[in-house]
Amino acid sequence: MLICAGALIESSGQIHRPGHLRMEHGIMTQVGPSLDPQVGEEVLHLPDLTLAPGWINLHAHLELSSLFEELTPEKDFPSWLKQILARLPSLNSETRRESMQRSAVAALRTGTTSIMSITSDLHAMAGLTSTASRIWWALEFMDIQTRPEVSLIVERSMAWLSRNPASAWHLSLSPHAPYTASPKLYQEVLASCAIHKIPFTTHLAESPEETSLLAGNETSFCDILPKEPPRTDFGNSQSPVAWCQKNQTLPEGAILAHGNELQPSDLPYLKERRVTLVHCPTSHEWFGRKSFPLQLLQDNGIPVCLGTDSPASSPNLPLDLREEVRLFRKKYSHISPLEAWRMITTIPARALGCESKLGTLQTGAWADWVGWRVPLDHDPFTAILESSDPAELTCVAGMITRHEKI
C-alpha cells in the first residue's frame, strides 16, 4: 500500500515534502519524497497531512484510568498509596479491561502508538484480545505478603501473547518499587528479563519518604507495609539508587520511572547501568514534587524521556503526550521542540531496544505512524506539539484508523 502525504518526518533530521511511504505486512518498505504506485497497488492520498512517527509513552498504568479524579494528592506519598490501595478491590477485571481499552484508544487519538503499561492483574489481561495501540505489558511484581512465581507468570503471559498473534503486543517485567519488592524478587525478575530478552522497568526514587525508608528511618510507609517478615535490606542506603547498587537490583538498560529524588552520588552507577529515566510532568506537578533533576541527568549523559503515569495521579486522562511536553517545556524553556520530540520518539525507542523499528519512519521500521493536519509550511515539530486536535489518521502495525473530532 502506498501513502502519499503533503509532508513526512522520516527522522528529526529528514523531512520530505511531499512525503510518501509504502508499507507491507505492518512494515515500512520504502520512504521518500516521490514513490510511484506499482501496478494494482492501493494508494491513499493525504495531501494536507503530515505523517510523523507515532509517539512512545514508557510509563502508564492503563488499568487505573477509572480512578481519574478519585484521589487527592496528600502531604506524603504513602498516604496517597493508602487511598489507591483502598480502591483496588473495587477494580475488578472487567473494569480494568475497559480502562485499558479506553485509554489505549484515547492515547492513540492523541498520537501515541506505543505504550509501556504497568499491569498488575493477569486476569484482566486474559480477557483482552486486542488494543488500539501497541503495548508493552509490564507485569508488576511485589512480595510484601506472598512470593510470586516469576517464571510461571512469565510463561503464562507468553502463552497469552502467542494466543493473540495479531495484536501488537510485547512483554516486559516490572518489580514495583524497592519498598514493595525485595532484592531477591528484583534479582529473579531481572534474571527472567535476561533469559527472555525483554525490557525491565521499575518505580525508583519517587518520593522523599522512599529515600528515608531505605535509609532505615521510621516513615509513614510503616502504616501500609506489613511488619513481618522484617526487611533486613532497609537501612544504610543513602538513596534508592544506592540501595539498588548494594543489592544489585538493576539490569543494564533498566527503564526507571520518576527518579525525582536522585543525588549527584547516584550518577556513576546509573551511567554504568545505562538506564533511561522516564519523567511524567503532569503527575509530578499533581503531587507537588520538588523540581526534577533534569540538569544532573543531562550533564551525565543519561537519557530522559517523557511519560504520563496514570490518571489516578494526573489530570491527563487521554494520556496525551503533547500535554506532558507542553508542561515540561514551560518548566525547562531551554528544551527545544525537537529535543522534546526525541524524548517521545527516538529516546524511548532506544530504551526498548527498538531503535530500528520505532521512533522514526525509516525503511524497515514498523508501520506505526500518525497523520497530523498542521500547516505544511510551518516547522512540523512545533506545529504538532502545539496542536490540540486529535490526530486525523493513525496506523499501528499497518492497521489504519481514522479519528473524528468530538
Residues binding Zn ion (CB under 5 A): 309
Identify the H or E element spanning 19: strand 19-24
Q: Which is nearer to Zn ion, 192 or 313 (CB)?
A: 313
Q: List the grid coordinates of 321.
A: 503526550
Question: In angstroms, what is the minimal distance from the CB of 179 to Zn ion?
Answer: 13
Q: Which is nearer to Zn ion, 20 or 61 (CB)?
A: 61
Report CA torsion sign: 362, 363, 369, 370.
positive
User: Cell 511485589 belongs to which residue?
Assistant: 142
Q: Which has the closest alpha carbon to 51: 3, 12, 13?
A: 3
Nearer to Zn ion, 319 or 391 (CB): 319
Least CB distance to Zn ion at residue 82 (A)? 16
Kindly state the smallest distance separating residue 201's Cβ from Zn ion, in Å.
Answer: 9
52 in Cβ contact with 361 (< 8 Å): yes
- In the bound state with Zn ion, the residue whose beta carbon lies nearer, of 10 and 309, is 309
Q: For residue 70, which of 85, 50, 53, 55 has the smallest C-alpha distance?
A: 85
Q: How far apart are CA 306 and CA 368, in angstroms?
A: 19
Cα(257)–Cα(254) distance, integer angstroms: 10
Does the N-terminal peptide bond of residue 251 adopt cis geometry, omega within 30 degrees of 0?
A: no
Nearer to Zn ion, 121 or 309 (CB): 309
CB of 245 to Zn ion, least distance (A): 22
Query: Can you read off the three cell numbers belonging to residue 94?
Result: 472487567
What phi and psi, each to the nearest 5 degrees, are found at residue 53? -60, 145
How far apart, in whole angstroms, are the C-alpha atoms of residue 386 and residue 106? 18
Angle, alpha carbons 157-344-283 (nearest 5°): 80
**Least Å from the CB of residue 323 to Zn ion:** 17
Nine cell digits for residue 113: 502508538
Least distance from C-beta 40 to Zn ion, angstroms? 48
Dist. CA 307–CA 57, nearest whole Å: 5
The span from the CA of 169 to the CA of 167, in Å, is 5
Instruction: Give the residue with the Cβ less far from Zn ion, 209 or 309.
Output: 309
Nearest CB to Zn ion, comparing residues 51 and 241: 241
For the bound state, the minimum distance from the C-beta of residue 287 to Zn ion, rounded and expressed in Å, comes to 11
Find residue 4's DSSP bridge partners.
20, 45
Residue closer to Zn ion by CB (options 8, 104) is 104
Which residue has its beta carbon closest to Zn ion?
A: 309
- Is residue 174 a contact partner of residue 140, using CB atoms and an 8 Å limit? yes
Q: Which is nearer to Zn ion, 54 or 311 (CB)?
A: 311
Segment holding 106, helix H or strand E: helix 93-109
